A and B are shown apart, each in its own frame.
Chain A
Amino acid sequence: MAELFIYGIVLGSIISLGAIGLTLVYGIIRFANFAHGDFLTAGAYIALFMVTGVLSWIGIPDSNFGSLSFGWRMALAFPFSMLTVGCVAIVLDRVLYRKLRQKGSGAVIFAMSSLGAAFIIRMIIFILWGADSLFYRPGIMRPALELPLGIKIRPDQILILLLVVFLITLLHFFLQNTKMGKAMRATADNMELALISGIDTERIIIWTWGIGGALAAAGGILYGIDVQLHPHMGWNFLIPLFAATILGSIGNMYGALIGGLIIGVAQQVSTAFLLPTYKPAVAFIIMIVILLIRPQGIFGGRS
């Protein structure tokens, strides 16, 4: 059980990365981005393309860092993929959502457009990589460390946790201390007031998409390192992401972090009683319960 709990924290930290991006987009641009799960998938596959393609072609050595399952190739592919997916998110906004904003379309049209975008991303991945599960490094030995209480944990998983903590700390300082971060929080609080104070909301929107996309990419890669890559991986994350976002109150970054951890732990611990394939259903049930008893989420805020 303690082991499942730790694995739940690892999974939850990955969900948190996605949910933070989702909640920022939800809070600032005001629409449910159903393509967010597929940003995770895109990030994971772009890193795969770099690791097995470009970086091996230009001759980056294939050795591992210590007992981790990856090395310099992944270290380079990781930020590259974050950057690329951030750009993909911004391009989608320029090509699709900005046009809809200019036409004054309703919130649901945005959501539907993002669903279309989700499938466009997924179909491109299916076309390029096929429908099989893939690994960054197939057939690797995965040595586990023994912790007290009989918990076995892989060095990769420890690194995942450290990386998530690092990225979230970075985001925290960005939002609290930079001008852009403050402007983003102001826009999330009250879009009209932000406009009146002379904040350029189009710039805010671009930054929000960039950050949301980059964090999602990071989550996708980390899941790929921890488990595997599959074109449907992001779709399976979609319900947990929304559950975490709603649980932690929409627009609240710290809420999304906590929500992600709760959903991750609940999903992993449920495998002690249920088939692991039911993980998305567990997240769904939690979400329904939250909607019934506290639809505004645990951190209050806007209902």
Chain B
Amino acid sequence: MEIGGILAYLVSLAIMAGIYAVFCLGLNIQWGYTGLFNIGIAGFFCIGAYASAMITTPKPTGLYAHYVHQIFGLNLPFVMGLLGAALICGIVAFLIGIPTLRLGEDYLAISTIGIAETFRLIFNNEHWLANGPRGLMGLPQPFQGLVDPKHYNYIYLIIIVIIVVIVYLSIERAIRSPWGRVLRAIREDELSAAMSGKDIFHFKMQSLVFGSMVMGIGGALYAHYTKAISPDVFTPLYGTFIIWVMLMAGGSGNNKGAVLGAYVIWFMWTGTTFMTNLLPYTLKARAPYIRFLLIMILLEIILIYRPRGLLGEEKKVSKLVD
């Protein structure tokens, strides 16, 4: 039992870290390769999760409909949920890019915060949309009947690993293409990229939309893992900043670093639970704040002393060169 319990625990850790790895990869496109400062990841997290939830569940009927309000329910398979989440996040990213991407990077930052907060408010207050603060429950999981529900997490871990690999490879492929080189040129020096005849706005927009679509997939993966979502999950701390710390720790501009950072920080984060369990009873209720305080201090230290993170940026020119 002991070994089995530990293994099951490690699997659940690996699943959550894998979901965060998807977010880190998405953020890496935007920040690591293009220098776009998106600090509203929680917004895309939230939209992706809700989109997939509503695509894969049926619309409540009969007595059930009195208790659960949901604007639509398509009852489609899991894969459609992932694609739908990516699509809707892409559309939202496009809309937010229009007013902000021609301006300085701070404008995108504050606008993405605004998007994240606004969507959280909408999902919290509009009961007809997705059941308000109680959220949606009973989301389907792919291949559910295949094994004993006790061991289902192993299957989900395999799904997560497959998706992380697909996302990883497609970003690697894209970033070694001429398109990827333009993104990095924009990040390094917008003016000279513009002088080389590149349409900065369009490339930034593509990067923002691509990254946000990946984040939408991350949100969907999260929703189907926990099977229940409510707006209070998508807070700036769990939804945005921990992902930033992961990417900065792993090494922005490096996809391996993005995945590594997600795993390292998530294991550290859960590791601190054991530490705060040792705290006196009166402080225990406030333990999450102490853990976040430590994570934020870690971020400041990384920013000052090791801004390149664990791995640093990999030199990538073209798929033909390396």
**How many angstroms from the CA of A130 to the CA of B124 in the assembled complex?**
23
Docked pose: A246 CA to B236 CA in angstroms:
22
Partner of A109, one of B109, B122, B125, B307: B307
A295 interfacial by beta-carbon distance below 8 Å: yes
Q: Is the CB of B113 within 8 A of A278?
A: no
Contact between B99 and A116, CB atoms less than 8 A apart: no
- Rounded to whole Å, the gap between the CB of A172 and the closest CB of chain B is 26
**B191 adjacent to chain A (CB < 8 Å):** no
- Which B-chain residue is minimally distant from A102 (CB atoms)? B304
Select B237's contact among A31, A96, A108, A119, beta carbons within 8 Å. A119
In the complex, B35 has a CB within 8 A of chain A:
yes
Interface string of B274-292 (1 = CB under 8 A from A): 0000000001011001101
Do A108 and B37 touch (CB < 8 A)? yes
Given that A119-B237, A124-B293, A284-B117 are contacting pairs, would A111 and B307 also be in contact in the complex, using a CB cutoff of 8 Å? no
List 21 interface pairs A-B (beta carbons < 8 Å), by A numbering: A34-B39, A109-B307, A111-B109, A112-B39, A112-B244, A112-B248, A113-B304, A115-B241, A120-B300, A124-B293, A130-B285, A238-B110, A239-B110, A277-B121, A284-B111, A284-B114, A287-B111, A288-B99, A288-B114, A291-B99, A295-B99
A103 CB contacts on chain B under 8 angstroms: 304, 307
Q: What 1/0 flags go to A277-303 for Cβ under 8 Å of B?
A: 110110010011001100100000000
Q: Is the beta-carbon distance between A113 and B303 smaller than 8 angstroms?
A: yes
Inter-chain contact A107/B106, CB cutoff 8 Å: yes
Determine whether the beta carbon of A281 is less than 8 Å from that of B121. yes
Give bound CA distance, A31 to B104, whole Å: 11
Q: Are B286 and A112 in contact (CB under 8 A)?
A: no
Taking the complex as formed, is A203 at the interface, i.e. its CB lies under 8 A from any CB of chain B? no
Distance from A226 Cβ to chain B, minimum over Cβ atoms (Å): 22
B286 and A130: CB pair below 8 A?
yes
Complex interface: chain B residues within 8 A of A96 (CB): 300, 303-304
CB distance from B160 to the nearest CB of A (A): 28
Tell me how far the C-beta of B298 lies from the nearest C-beta in chain A, rounded to whole angstroms. 9
Contacts of A109 in B (CB 8 A): 303, 307
Q: Evaluate contact between A100 and B121: CB separation under 8 angstroms.
A: no
List 20 extra interface pairs beyond A115-B244, A239-B110, CB under 8 A: A32-B106, A32-B109, A96-B303, A100-B303, A100-B304, A107-B105, A111-B106, A112-B37, A112-B248, A113-B304, A116-B241, A123-B290, A123-B293, A130-B286, A277-B124, A280-B117, A281-B114, A287-B110, A291-B99, A292-B98
Residues in B neighbouring A288, C-beta threshold 8 A? 99, 111, 114
Q: Report if B297 contacts A (CB, 8 A).
A: yes
CB closest residue in chain A, given B110: A242
7 smallest beta-carbon distances between A and B, as pairs = A284-B114, A32-B106, A123-B293, A126-B289, A291-B99, A281-B118, A119-B296
Answer whether residue A261 sits at the interface, using C-beta atoms and an 8 A cutoff.
no
Given the known interface contacts A119-B241, A238-B113, the answer about A295 and B300 at a Cβ–Cβ threshold of 8 Å is no
Closest-CB distance, B133 to chain A (whole angstroms) = 11
Fill in one digit per residue for A248-286: 1 if any B CB lies within 8 Å of its CB, else 0. 000000000000000000000000000101101100100
When chains A and B are docked, how far (Å) is the Cα of A246 from the Cα of B104?
12
Give A1-54 interface residues, CB cut-off 8 Å to B.
Answer: 31-32, 34
A117 at the B interface (CB under 8 A): yes
Residue contact B105 to A108, C-beta cutoff 8 Å: yes
